[in-house]
Amino acid sequence: MTWLAAQPQGIPLPKPSELSAPHWEAAKNGELRVQRCENGHYVFIPLPACNYCWSTKLEWVKTSGKGTLYSMSIVYRPQTPAFQIPYVVGIMEMEEGWFIMSNVINAELENVKIGMPLKVTFTKMSDDIALPYFEPA
């Protein structure tokens, strides 16, 4: 069995932009926030306009952090040696109907299956960044 843990300190971290800063600020407070347009569409990754209806009236809303594993890949050759392998990159389908890519952790690799229920969990990596990972719900 292979235990999937959060990545260690020292991996490359996201650099929040003006557009994505609200997402990362919320993550520091243990909240998974996403943009939602005036017509109810969820927008992720952060964009200046809704990619369904082009509305520029977007707000950052708190989400449940619950979803299921939609797709996955097991990584054995990381981008830098700082990453512990293997790790699972997943695309999570969130219960509000939007998608996010992250890692699946706190699970045995052999038990990670498409469709499994997951919930967000945050790992503080620096004063500015807490990474949203997903673990079995």
Q: Give the residues lining the site for Zn ion (CB under 5 A).
A: 37, 39, 41, 50, 52-53, 55
Contact by Cβ (8 Å): 104, 50: no
Contact by Cβ (8 Å): 123, 6: yes
Q: Quote the least distance from Cβ 57 to Zn ion, whole Å.
A: 9
DSSP single-letter state for residue 26: H
E strand or H helix that includes residue 67: strand 66-75
Q: Quote the least distance from Cβ 55 to Zn ion, whole Å.
A: 5
Residue number with CB closer to Zn ion (2 or 39): 39
Residue number with CB closer to Zn ion (52 or 137): 52
Residue number with CB closer to Zn ion (100 or 105): 100
Q: Quote the least distance from Cβ 40 to Zn ion, whole Å.
A: 7
Residue number with CB closer to Zn ion (83 or 99): 99
Q: What is the DSSP string of 91-127?
A: EEEETTS-EEEEEE-SEEGGG--TT-EEEEEEEE-SS
